[in-house]
Amino acid sequence: MELTIQNISKQFKELVAVNQFTAELSCGVYGLLGPNGAGKTTLLRMLADILRPTSGIIRLNGQDIRTMEERYRDVLGYLPQQFGYYRQFTGRQFLMYIAALKGLEKRAAATKVEEVLQLVGLGYEADSKIKSYSGGMRQRLGIAQALLNDPKVLILDEPTAGLDPTERIRFRNILSEMSANRIILLSTHIVSDIEYVAKDVLLMKQGYLLKQDRLVSLLKELKESVWKVTVDENQLPVLKQRYKIVNILRRDSGVEVRILSPDKPLLTAQPVTAGLEDLYLHYFNEEIIR
């Protein structure tokens, strides 16, 4: 299975949200990483065939998804960034409703609904009204609806927003188990989500694809660029001015600072193994959300 994104662009009046984006995705989990406003959601909406690209083409196994229409939606699972729901529905009713829209037969739908409810850990609350759900439970319901038709292409926009650490780990494990025979594209700016499950990382900035590579290869670029050093409190402002600071940890012995720099920032600085957070800061120069 191959999803080919070929020179996709999307322009909203003067604003180019996605610009000449090209990528090839095969089975596995792909992490789409980028700061707010990078065009991730627009790209995912085009991939979900709910937003028409200004130019370019998206192909699944060589076939234009726009000509595939229903056949593409048949293999598509999509979780939008803002998950809406009908307040008067229970979790089970909502999933049955979405299952009907996905064209599942009633009996098959009931079985599948039960299965996905168990998978996301909502079995015990399935018959409660969605309006009584917590944010995390609603998000899990959103994930469940995306899995209803056993999709071959799964597009998830910020799926872990609102999930607690246990739920996030559970979700990551679900994704890993499912990734063997599916294309999963996961957009987030929570880097740790991607770090554990993604086969490839796609870095996106201002509508462009900056890089697409294996995480290991991307991290190799930062070899000898990430440093750890313990300094006094009064040295911290100077370091902040001169370098990109990834992390500050106050200990009894002083302030432990993680610095991103091509050169050794201080004599006492020790090189450390780079992580995805360092990579994020390197490319996007923004504060990291753990």
Interface with other proteins: number of residues (CB under 8 A)? 44
- Closer Cβ to other proteins, 42 or 188, answer by number: 42
Q: How far apart are CA 97 and CA 95, in angstroms?
A: 5
- Tell me the DSSP string of 166-231: HHHHHHHHHHHHHGGGSEEEEEESBHHHHHHH-SEEEEEETTEEEEEEEHHHHHHTTTT-EEEEEE
Which stretches of 6-102 are DSSP H helices? 40-47, 65-68, 70-74, 91-101
Q: Answer whether 153's CB lies under 8 Å from 63's CB.
A: no
Identify the residue among 4, 25, 30, 45 touching other proteins (CB under 8 A): 45
Identify the residue among 3, 5, 8, 76 touching other proteins (CB under 8 A): 76
- Closer Cβ to other proteins, 45 or 140, answer by number: 45
Q: Is 25 in the site for other proteins (CB under 8 A)?
A: no
Q: Is 67 in the site for other proteins (CB under 8 A)?
A: yes
Identify the residue among 21, 49, 225, 279 touching other proteins (CB under 8 A): 49
Cβ at position 193, least distance to other proteins in Å: 21
Q: Is 63 in the site for other proteins (CB under 8 A)?
A: yes
The counts of H helices and E strands in the chain are 11, 14
Q: Is 62 in the site for other proteins (CB under 8 A)?
A: yes
Q: How many CB atoms neighbour CB 136 within 10 A?
A: 17
Identify the residue among 50, 57, 108, 238 touching other proteins (CB under 8 A): 50
Identify the residue among 35, 80, 254, 265 touching other proteins (CB under 8 A): 80
Q: Which residues contact 226 (CB under 8 A, 6 or more apart)?
A: 246, 258, 259, 260, 271, 272, 273, 274, 275, 278
Identify the residue among 57, 100, 238, 289 touching other proteins (CB under 8 A): 100
Q: Is 35 in the site for other proteins (CB under 8 A)?
A: no
Identify the residue among 22, 24, 101, 173 touching other proteins (CB under 8 A): 101
Q: How far apart are CA 242 and CA 263, in angstroms?
A: 12
Instruction: By CB under 8 A, name the binding residues for other proteins.
Output: 10, 12-13, 15, 17-18, 37, 39, 41-42, 45, 48-52, 61-64, 67-68, 70, 73-74, 76, 78-80, 82-88, 97-98, 100-103, 145, 149
